[in-house]
Structures are given as C-alpha cells and as structure tokens.
Chain A
Amino acid sequence: MIEFILNNKKITTDANKSMTLVDFIRENRNLKGTKIVCREGDCGACTVLVGQLCRDKKSVSYQTITSCISPLANAHGKHIVTVEGLNIANKLNQVQQYLKDNYASQCGFCTPGFVVAMINYCLNADSKTEEQMLDAISGNICRCTGYVAIINAAKKVVAESKNEGKKLTLKQLIQHGFIPAYFADIFEQLKSLDQIPYVVSGQEIIAGGTDLYVQQADTLLQATNLRYILQEQSQTVAIEDNECSISGIAKVSDLFDSEELNQRIPHLREYLRLLSSEAIRNMATIGGNFVNASPIGDMSIFLLALDAQLLIAQGDNSRTVALKDFFLDYKKIDIKKDESIAKITFSLPNENSYFHFEKVSKRKHLDIATVNSAILIKYEDNRITNIDLSVGGVAAIPKYLVNTCQFLKDKEINSATLLQAIEIMNQEISPISDVRGTAEYKRLLANQLLKAHFIKLFPEQIIFEEVVTIVGEAS
C-alpha cells in the first residue's frame, strides 16, 4: 500500500506503484487541473508540490516536481499538492489573483503549473528575490503569453509574499490568502502517516525517474522488480575538511541548497541553474546522472573535473572506482546489475585551486548541452600544479582530457600554452554530428569553452584577443 496526503485528503492506494504520479492524479483521482503536455519533464504543466517533514521533524518543507516522470511510489509518506489543493473557496489565492490581474493566462494549459511553481516560491525562497522567483518558474513553458505578463505577475508575488524583507510563515501565508487553511494541519498528519520507508525488494533501481520515465514509462508500468530508492532518506551532502561526500541518491537540489557547498564552490548555483529546471533538480539524482552515461551529462562533466571517486555497493560489499574510469564506452559503465552507487567523494577546491563550469546549448536553460566542460586547476607560483579538465558532447563518453591535463601540468599560464593545449585537446576529442550540432561546431565550441575557462579564471594572464582568432579587421 502507498499512503500519502493528496491536497487535504489522505490516500491509501494499492494502485500500480510505477504508474506516473500525474496519471494517478488525473485518472484515479479525477483531478484534471494538472496537465499533461510532454511527459518528459520539459514543460512544467504537470508541476505539483511535494511536502515532507524536514530532517529535524519540526516542520514541513515543500518543493516542486514534474509529476509526469515521477513514480507514484515516490509520493509515499508525502504531501502532494495539485492546483486544486491550492484553491481557496469562493476566491482566488494571491498568486492566482496576480496572474489573473496581469493577463498572465491565455489558453490556460500551462497556468496550473505556474500557480504551483509560484506558490512553491512563496513557501520557500528566504531572501525573496526575483532571481529566486525565476528559478521557481524556470521549468514552466508557456506558448501563449511570451512570459511578459507572467513576469509582471511574478514580480507582484515577489513583492507581496514578504514581510519586512522576510518570507511569510506558513501561518501568514494562510492569513494573507496565499494558501488554504488546511496546510496548517499537514505537519501533524505527516507525522502520523506511516513514516516507515516503502521498501520493495526489487533489483531495478528507480530514483527520481527523470531519465527512465522519459525513455520507458510503459515498460516500467509492467515491471515487477523495481526498487524505489528515493524513499531511503539520508543525509545527502557532507563536508569534512576538504572532502565532500554526497550519497548516490543526492538530488541536484541537495547540492544547490547546501550553503556550505556553495561557499566552497563559488558560483555553484549559477552552474546548477544551467543544468535543468528547479523541479527537475528536485528529482534528478547525481548517481542517476552517472549511470545514464550520457556523453553530455552535466553532473558527469562537473564531477569529472573534481576527480570524483565512486563508492559502488553490492549488498554489504563495496568497491571504489574513479569517475574517470567509470565510463567505458558509449552508454557502457563499470557497474553490475546488482550494484549501485552508494557514495561520491571529491576534494573541494581550496585557496589555490579554481573550479569553473561552462555549458552551451540551443536554449540557455532547461536544455541538453551541445558541449559542456569543467575545469579544476591548482595554481601556485604562476604554475599549474594540477589540472582536471572534462568535456562533454565530443566523445562517446563524458570525456576526461587525460593528455591535455598532462600537457598543462607544471606549465605557466599564458596564451601560447593555452593554444597548444587546445591542439592537444583536439586530438583527444571526436565529436559527431547530430541533432545538437555538427561535429565541426562542437569541436569549435569545445575549443572556445576551454578558452572561456581560462579567460574567466585568469583574466590577467589570458587576454581574449590573444587566444581568439579574429577574422579580418575589427571594426
């Protein structure tokens, strides 16, 4: 049995655990406000809130997910809120009112998703900035409005959902008409809900579902040996001295939200914003990004440069493998059927080392990279003492640039060295043409992103004009 709270109703169901949450909501519960558009997490029309007890068990925390690629099983023990669960009798909630007032809803198909995402912003977002609001709606696509009206409404929500610069409490949100009154009772209800993890002794691991449900939702619906590991709650990000350890089921948002990690890796949030929408970051796991083995996987590229080590578990046994050795060939990885990624560890950048991530895609946000790249560089006395470079989209696997790194080690940082390094990189990569771009473009892009790393990190040493070919005379 799966038990959870759906809006203000407790649900106990023996429905197929691997059906998508959106199908359960729409078909089994006849709540039609949550819309289906793409079934691949790329539009946000099916966005719902997921509430769960905070780790300290003192309050409920909410976040958004896209219910089209989330298994019903992952709702177990949670509070799931659809747009209907945000409705207040006989009037609009504040977010709904601002959307209406600003003409931010035309055909109405994307609107429920925006309502849910904006309420999520109201429930979270401590500092209440417009940037955080854009994060909140970053995964919501609208085809009618051109977003201007939505942004106008969003700005109103940002202005009105704070009190003296601070976010409104749950109680205040109820008082001010943002959310219905029943939210006040959810904490007690979640506590009383069976908090025992929902364990299924299957072999096939499902975490956030962000990849598997895009590829094979129908197959999963008929699968009998699934194991829904996201229910296995644990501390996901731990930092000790210079070492960071994250669990395989850590979600990207766990990294995004970790204040400590953000202090240790400058601009981390900027990088992670390029990965996906907030709702997807709330579901996608780091381990999942690795086992997906996409040559363009953002977290793979990210953590390759941090020289991450994987602790791979098989029952009580475990082994360690370096991420750069984990990818064997196209979509082939060093993991057996009954193994799983338990933990990922890496050294954090320190005062002499610099990390940077670059990604270019057709659309800047919520898009798969054409080419992505990361660098970790240790630099002392004007010399590179250590360097790790990764680049995605230019080989069968997420590429760790062994030769380029070797070349750059112990070198001085200057334009000539960089140009030589690019020549070496060009021998290491072998891009192919596909829907994301021609081989020629990807190669040029990989070159440019390597330059971008150095220009960004060493603006004193690397001058744009010295490393970039300027054709003809500049005007």
Chain B
Amino acid sequence: MKNIDANGHVRGESLFIDDILTKQHTLHAAVLASEIGHAKDLKIDISRAKQFPGVEKILLASDIPGENEIGGILLDEPLLAENEIHFQGQPLAVIIAETEFIAKQARKLIKVTFCMLPVITSAKQAKQQGQFINDARSFYLGDVSASFANCKYVYEDETFSNGQEHLYLETQGAYAEKMENGCIKIMSSTQGPTVVQRIAARVLGLAMHKIEVDVTRLGGGFGGKEDQATPWAVMVALACNHLNRPVKLILDRHDDLKMTGKRHPYESQFKIGLDENYKIMALEIEFLQNSGAAADLSPAIAERTLFHATNSYFIPNVKTTVHSCKTNLPPNTAFRGFGGPQGMYVIESAIAKAANHLNIPAWHIQHANLLQDNDTFSYGQIAQQVKAKDTWDQLQGNINIKSIQDFVNVFNDYNIETKKGMAMMPICFGISFTNTPMNHARALVHIYQDGSVGISTGAVEMGQSVNTKMLQVAAQTFSIDPDLIKLETTNTTRVANTSPSAASATADLNGKALLKACNALVERLKHVAADVLVAGVDTIELKDGWVVVNQVKSDLDWKELVFKAFWQRVCLTENGHYATPTIKFDKSKEKGHPFAYHVYGIALITTTVDCLRGTYKIDSIDIVHDFGKSMNIGVDLGQVEGALAQGIGWMTMEEVAYNDEGRLLSNTLSTYKIPDVFSIAEDINIEALETEGHDLAIFKSKAVGEPPLMYGIGVYFAIQNAIKAFNPNYKLKFHSPMTPEKVMMGLYEK
C-alpha cells in the first residue's frame, strides 16, 4: 500500500501547522532568546517593546500561573528564564502581537541585563568541574580487569562524535485557541501530544482535561519534536489563556536552529582487549554525554548508549559508564537512534583501532565477534532469534566481501590520485522504550453505521507512514476496502496518556492495540452475522468485504452486516489497549530484559577519496536488513534509505559548531549542510533478510525507524581506510564528522 498521505502531499494539499487557516483575531508570537550562554541577575525591560504598536502582550516568567517548569525526566528546566540564564537560545520572553512581523520588530526593543558567568561548552570541561545532570550509570558483565590482564592485544583511545541538527523541514510550531469553560485546544507539531498536554497543564496550573492537544501530521520530527515541541505549544497556550484570542507561533529557521537542542555530542574513552583469535574479550568505555543545560531526555539517551555500546558483538567482559554532563548549550535531545549511534561509534572505533594495529581489515574482527543465540548482553538480556550472522552471510552470498576488499586493494595499488576504502557496518538495535512503563498504547475504532471506519491511535504521523501501517492493520483485520477507513488526527481527547511516537516502536505498540480493537469488533460482528445467517459463529469469516460461511461467500456484505449490528444495538466502537509483554528492567541492578526484540543488519560500504582535493564520494552501499516480515516493504525501504542518509550526514558533512561562548555558528542552511541528491551513494542495494519475523512486532514486521541510521557509521571508517591507503603515516581518527577538511589534513599529515 502506498503512503495514504501521498495524494495530499504531492498536490500540496496536506495540512501542516502553518497551513491551518487561522481564525479571525488570531495573534502571532515571537520568542526572545538569550544571546548569552550563562548569567545570573537577569533583568528584562519590556517597557519600550510593550508600547510598540500592535503588541498585545509580552509574557515573562512572572506571567506563568502554574509552575515555570517544562522538564520531563527531571524538573530542571523553566519555560521562560527566571533570574538565571543557562544557554544561548534560552527563551526569555514571548512577544504577542497582531502580526509576526510586529512581534519580531518589538522583540528588538526588549532590553536584557545580567551578570555574566563562565560558560562550559564541552562535556570534558563539565566533568572536570563536576557539572552533571544526574548520577553516572554503569553496566557490568563478567570481570573486565581480570580479562584485560589475559588479553593478548589491548588498545585504548579517545573518541568524539559531534552533535547533529534534526533539520526537520517543518520548523517547530503550535497554534492554540481558547474553548469554553477555561479549556484550551492546542494544535501542535509534536511527537508527544500527551507530553504537551501534561506540561501545558502544569505551566498553566490547570488539570489535564482542560487541555486538548491535536496533531494532524509533522513535517519531519526525527526525535527533535519528542520533547522539544513542547515549549512553543505551552507558550501559545499561555498567551491564549491570558488574551482569550487564538495565538500562533511558528519558529523561523534561524530561531529554531538557535533555540533547540540537537543530537548529543559525546566524548568517550575506550579500552578494548582481544585474544589471539581476535575475539574481543573485554571492553571498557567511559562515555561523556554533552547533555546541554537541562536534562530533557538526556538520562534516557545516556541509558540507550550503554545498551548499544557492544553493537552486534558478544563481549564477555564489559564495563561501560556514562556521565550526563551539564554544559551551557541548548539541552540536547532525542534524535533517531537516541544515544545508540553514539555508543556504536565508540565500539566501531575501538575495533578499527585494533584492526589498524593488527594490520588486518576491521571486518575480520567484526565477523569474529558477531552475536549468537543465547549470548548475554551486558544488561543481562539473553540474545534470542539473533540475525547478526544471518544478515552477514546473506550479504556474503550476494557479494563476496573478500573480493571487494581485494578489488579495493588492487585499485589502490594502481591509482595514486584517488584511493578507495571499504568498511563493513553491522547493526543490532533493541526495540522498546528502555523505560518499561512507556511501552503501551491505545487505539479507538469507530465503525460508523454506513460501514465506514474511523481510527484514532496514539501514533503521530511524521512521514514514517505509521498511519498507512495502521490503516493496513484495520483493513486486513476487517478484510475491507482501505477506502472505507480513515485515520483521524492524533488527539488527546480520543486517545489519552500516550507515549510519544519514538523508539521505533510506534507501529508495534499502536498497531497491536489497534489489532486488539479490530479483533474485538470482528468477534462482535461475527456473532451478528451468525445470528442473521443462522450459522455457527465458528464457521463465519469476514473476507474481502463479505461474510463467508464455511468458506462460502454469503449474501451479507460488510456494509449490511454493520448496519444490522447497529440496528441490533451492538457496540460498534472499541478501544484497544496493548502493553508489551515479557519486558522488564531493574535499574538498581542494571539488569533485565528491556527489549521486545532486536533488529539486525549489515552494510558494506565503499568510498573513493580524491587525494588532490580532499573530497570524497560514496561508491556503493550494500545492505542486508532484518525487516522481519515487512508489512509494507515500500515504506520500510524508505525508512532504511532515509535513515542511512541521515547517518551518512552525521558522519560526514553535518557539522554542528558552537564557539567558546556557546553561540551556534552553524546557524543557517548555508553553514549547516545536510545531504542533497548528489551526496548519496551512486549505488545502493538494500535487501531484506529472509526471515519469519518476530511475534512481538506488528504482523511480524519489525520496527525500522532508527536502526538503519547506524549503517552510516561505516562510511566514516571507509573514508579513513582510503586516506590510509594514500598516506601510510595517517593515524586513525575518532573524531566525527569526517568533513573534507579532515580528509585533506589527514591525507597530508606527517
């Protein structure tokens, strides 16, 4: 099935927040953000701005009736700064005016005074100064120190992986209007409608039932709208509450880049030990996560870094520690992979380092250590239905890996102006929110008396085509024409207490809930059919829009059946609830079974470096990916291709840059480059692993949103292998992204 939104998208008719026809008397907001990274004694003088014609109100922290607190995991982040400033881009005031233009003109008239404090921009600085978000976390398996003593080869080094701007094409935005009885309706571009509802209620001092949050779709999220869509929605709700008029806020790109957090940069140290057969016997990593100025989702992201620190490998002795370091950058946040990519980058660096010293291709080590059934992860989960070797072997069956390596070597022997490099990148990614209580969802299904169907779930459509998958679940279960089914907006009054659309798990959780609801309705309708057709319930099936009795089509079609049910006063509405079984995690022991299942895959990447200009291109990427039994391969391939491009961007050209004062330098699309149509590999082959899928995945179709991003990590090492072929003195670097600058300096380093 094609993306059910495709017609609207290609015709320019799909509605995003900024496209909603504004109501009469709508006001527009602009946010004043801090131009300074760290300060106290903040004073904000709005006297001139207030007088500016067209300005209705300027909101400050003092205008907040409830709590000035938007923190989710920890209560450490104000909506509007109060006395202290903790990062450049921190919201200080919200200007509400007749037009956005006026609001922005007035914004320039606000005077801010403060007393400056020292700024911390790196995780290492923060650690030295004891600035942490929360306590460090550590996972242990086996006995690391004893094992290192017995290892034949031990290597240590430091790594840095830079942040990444989400660059969802649709900037953050929200639109709020006052309803009767003091209620507020917020239309928000958020991945987490319930988060917005809960925080808006807290800040406004209202009960949650007074706040309705409605989401039609997002113009991209990628994690950037999981927690950080909230402040803007709360601001318009607050303004609306004060002024009794609809209020709209759409951040312009510049404000969005400046005010929102990004993927966390990590500074880490690793120590890896191998035996004579290249088996990794011990791994020790200390991760320093640059969390920014507030917790946001950092503790959860840090946790996932630990979960993925061993990637697809079995390592019997592991000690990994992560510190969430508090700096004066915008609070960094969720981004596709959620700390997983940062974890995998370090183990892949460690393997590359070892391989370089042992003078073998890194894939020899990778292959020797692939995870197998019944291996134990460092967090205690026993690996089951492992597909690490299966994906590797299927790829090997398609293209002989060694022959590619030989081709690259021969090419490099005979060419000097260009050099090629290859790398393999296996992935293993756990599916479920690592915070077990979040793994539940609901779906509300109405069958209308004419046979058409309306579906509400907690899933937010942001381009991943989750609504298409939801529609497939209902169409398949009811066995009716998909045109009879409509996916409603995601709305907190229809589906409450939802987890955000995140962790790749949205289709699984909401799909399973929807499946339950649909099955319950089918059961009810079968009874009606049995009654009407005077047949046993067990003999009845719904098939292709008809009631089938004992495999024989009856005269009763779906529409008539539904109408008869309605006439018999049968309930045609069902609410399905699903909570992932089997998962658990004990944080006091850091052991458990946090994931419903894992997704596996392997990529082979080849690159060519122009040794004169220091530029590079990706020649080919061959992937075998574990989709399970994909329920929509067109959609799922799109997820792999899109995630791959983002992973490549993170590892190559996307360079988030702050100066020492914490000012974002890469603050436009002309200074922050993401992959364009020319940046992707010339030859991309993605093949599905032949597998039966997993029972905990919806229709056995595994989660696909995040895992493939990490294939991009292979590009980083493939480029370095090409550099090394040109400059044997080149010392491997573990400092992403691999920009043309780093390539050039590497080609010619002494």
In the complex with contacts A105-B3, A143-B674, A464-B612, A149-B638 CB distance below 8 A = yes
Please provide the chain A residues from 198 to 220 with a CB less than 8 Å away from any CB of chain B in the complex.
Answer: 214, 218
A196 close to chain B: CB less than 8 A: no
Q: A147–B680 contact, CB under 8 A?
A: yes
In the complex with contacts A100-B3, A435-B665, A441-B11 CB distance below 8 A = no
B153 close to chain A: CB less than 8 A: no
**Beta-carbon nearest neighbor of A108 in chain B:** B9
Q: B10–A148 contact, CB under 8 A?
A: no
A190 close to chain B: CB less than 8 A: no
A353 close to chain B: CB less than 8 A: no
In the complex with contacts A39-B253, A92-B10, A468-B676 CB distance below 8 A = no
Q: B641–A141 contact, CB under 8 A?
A: no
B404 close to chain A: CB less than 8 A: no
Chain B residues contacting A435 (CB-CB under 8 Å) are 657, 665-666, 671
Produce 1/0 per residue, A454-475, CB < 8 A to B: 0100000000110011111111
In the complex with contacts A43-B169, A105-B9, A107-B217, A144-B739 CB distance below 8 A = no
B484 close to chain A: CB less than 8 A: no
A111 close to chain B: CB less than 8 A: yes
B356 close to chain A: CB less than 8 A: no
B222 close to chain A: CB less than 8 A: yes
How distant is the Cα of A111 from the Cα of B611 in the complex, in angstroms? 37
B417 close to chain A: CB less than 8 A: yes
Please provide the chain A residues from 14 to 72 with a CB less than 8 Å away from any CB of chain B in the complex.
Answer: 30-40, 42-43, 45
A254 close to chain B: CB less than 8 A: no
A3 close to chain B: CB less than 8 A: no
B482 close to chain A: CB less than 8 A: no
Contact of A448 among B104, B614, B635 (CB under 8 A): B614
How distant is the Cα of A107 from the Cα of B217 in the complex, in angstroms? 8
B252 close to chain A: CB less than 8 A: yes
Q: A472–B729 contact, CB under 8 A?
A: yes
Q: A221–B416 contact, CB under 8 A?
A: no
Contact of A109 among B170, B611, B655, B748 (CB under 8 A): B170
How distant is the Cα of A43 from the Cα of B634 in the complex, in angstroms? 25
Q: B2–A103 contact, CB under 8 A?
A: yes
For A106, A218, A366, A444, which residue has the most chain B Cβ atoms within 10 angstroms? Answer: A106
A110 close to chain B: CB less than 8 A: yes
Q: How far is the CB of B341 from chain A (nearest CB, A)?
A: 16
Q: B6–A105 contact, CB under 8 A?
A: yes
In the complex with contacts A42-B669, A362-B655, A83-B12 CB distance below 8 A = yes
Chain B residues contacting A218 (CB-CB under 8 Å) are 101, 104-105
B670 close to chain A: CB less than 8 A: yes
How distant is the Cα of A40 from the Cα of B672 in the complex, in angstroms? 12
How distant is the Cα of A328 from the Cα of B695 in the complex, in angstroms? 71
Please provide the chain B residues from 630 to 669 with a CB less than 8 Å away from any CB of chain A in the complex.
Answer: 634-635, 637-638, 641-646, 653, 655, 657, 665-666, 668-669
Contact of B740 among A31, A43, A362, A368 (CB under 8 A): A362
Produce 1/0 per residue, A361-393, CB < 8 A to B: 111111110100000000000000000000000
In the complex with contacts A38-B253, A134-B677, A475-B413, A143-B670 CB distance below 8 A = no
Q: How far is the CB of B730 from chain A (nearest CB, A)?
A: 8
A344 close to chain B: CB less than 8 A: no
Produce 1/0 per residue, B1-41, CB < 8 A to A: 01101111111111110110100000000000000000000
Q: A471–B169 contact, CB under 8 A?
A: no
Q: B641–A146 contact, CB under 8 A?
A: yes
How distant is the Cα of A448 from the Cα of B610 in the complex, in angstroms? 11
**Beta-carbon nearest neighbor of A116 in chain B:** B12
Chain B residues contacting A361 (CB-CB under 8 Å) are 740
Chain B residues contacting A475 (CB-CB under 8 Å) are 412-413, 725, 728
How many B residues face the partner with a CB closer than 8 A?
A: 87
Q: A470–B638 contact, CB under 8 A?
A: no
Produce 1/0 per residue, A279-307, CB < 8 A to B: 00000000000000000000000000000
Please provide the chain B residues from 669 to 727 with a CB less than 8 Å away from any CB of chain A in the complex.
Answer: 669-671, 673-680, 684, 725-727
**Beta-carbon nearest neighbor of B725 in chain A:** A475
Q: A441–B9 contact, CB under 8 A?
A: no
Chain B residues contacting A188 (CB-CB under 8 Å) are none
Chain A residues contacting B730 (CB-CB under 8 Å) are 471
In the complex with contacts A362-B653, A451-B612, A107-B169 CB distance below 8 A = yes
B741 close to chain A: CB less than 8 A: yes
Q: A111–B741 contact, CB under 8 A?
A: no
Q: A445–B169 contact, CB under 8 A?
A: no
A112 close to chain B: CB less than 8 A: yes
Q: B677–A147 contact, CB under 8 A?
A: yes
Inter-chain CB contacts under 8 Å: number:
249
Q: How far is the CB of A122 from chain B (nearest CB, A)?
A: 15
Task: Give the contact-size bracket for chain A.
Answer: 35 or more
Chain A residues contacting B739 (CB-CB under 8 Å) are 362
Produce 1/0 per residue, A106-148, CB < 8 A to B: 1111111001000000000000000000100110111111111
**Beta-carbon nearest neighbor of B465 in chain A:** A106
A437 close to chain B: CB less than 8 A: yes
How distant is the Cα of A134 from the Cα of B677 in the complex, in angstroms? 8
**Beta-carbon nearest neighbor of A115 in chain B:** B10
How distant is the Cα of A469 from the Cα of B750 in the complex, in angstroms? 10
A440 close to chain B: CB less than 8 A: yes
For B104, B462, B611, B673, which residue has the most chain A Cβ atoms within 10 angstroms? Answer: B673
Q: How far is the CB of B263 from chain A (nearest CB, A)?
A: 14
How distant is the Cα of A125 from the Cα of B637 in the complex, in angstroms? 30
A348 close to chain B: CB less than 8 A: no
Chain A residues contacting B641 (CB-CB under 8 Å) are 145-149
Chain B residues contacting A141 (CB-CB under 8 Å) are 169, 669, 674, 676
A244 close to chain B: CB less than 8 A: no
How distant is the Cα of A360 from the Cα of B13 in the complex, in angstroms? 39
In the complex with contacts A150-B677, A468-B611, A99-B10 CB distance below 8 A = yes
How distant is the Cα of A95 from the Cα of B671 in the complex, in angstroms? 32
A268 close to chain B: CB less than 8 A: no
How distant is the Cα of A99 from the Cα of B7 in the complex, in angstroms? 10
**Beta-carbon nearest neighbor of B673 in chain A:** A363
Chain A residues contacting B727 (CB-CB under 8 Å) are 470-472
Chain A residues contacting B678 (CB-CB under 8 Å) are 134, 138, 364-365
A101 close to chain B: CB less than 8 A: yes
A452 close to chain B: CB less than 8 A: yes
Q: B7–A92 contact, CB under 8 A?
A: yes
Q: B745–A441 contact, CB under 8 A?
A: yes
Chain B residues contacting A34 (CB-CB under 8 Å) are 12
How distant is the Cα of A448 from the Cα of B613 in the complex, in angstroms? 6
Q: B9–A103 contact, CB under 8 A?
A: no
How distant is the Cα of A35 from the Cα of B219 in the complex, in angstroms? 10
B361 close to chain A: CB less than 8 A: no
B749 close to chain A: CB less than 8 A: yes
Q: A103–B670 contact, CB under 8 A?
A: no
Q: A473–B728 contact, CB under 8 A?
A: yes
Q: How far is the CB of B653 from chain A (nearest CB, A)?
A: 5
**Beta-carbon nearest neighbor of B12 in chain A:** A33
**Beta-carbon nearest neighbor of B413 in chain A:** A475
Q: How far is the CB of B648 from chain A (nearest CB, A)?
A: 8
In the complex with contacts A35-B169, A107-B218, A83-B614 CB distance below 8 A = no
Chain B residues contacting A309 (CB-CB under 8 Å) are none
Q: A100–B726 contact, CB under 8 A?
A: no
**Beta-carbon nearest neighbor of B739 in chain A:** A362
Q: How far is the CB of B152 from chain A (nearest CB, A)?
A: 26
A-B contact pairs, 14 of them (CB 8 A): A33-B12, A37-B669, A38-B253, A40-B253, A42-B669, A144-B642, A218-B104, A362-B739, A435-B665, A441-B741, A448-B614, A470-B416, A470-B727, A474-B416
A binding-site residues for B, Cβ under 8 Å: 30-40, 42-43, 45, 82-84, 87, 92, 95-96, 99-101, 103, 105-112, 115, 134, 137-138, 140-151, 214, 218, 221, 358, 360-368, 370, 435-438, 440-441, 444-445, 448-449, 451-452, 455, 464-465, 468-475
Assuming A87-B13, A109-B170, A364-B615, what are 10 further A-B pairs, CB within 8 angstroms? A40-B253, A84-B11, A105-B9, A105-B10, A138-B676, A143-B169, A143-B674, A147-B641, A147-B675, A364-B678
Cβ-closest 6 pairs across A and B: A33-B12, A107-B463, A108-B9, A146-B645, A109-B219, A83-B12
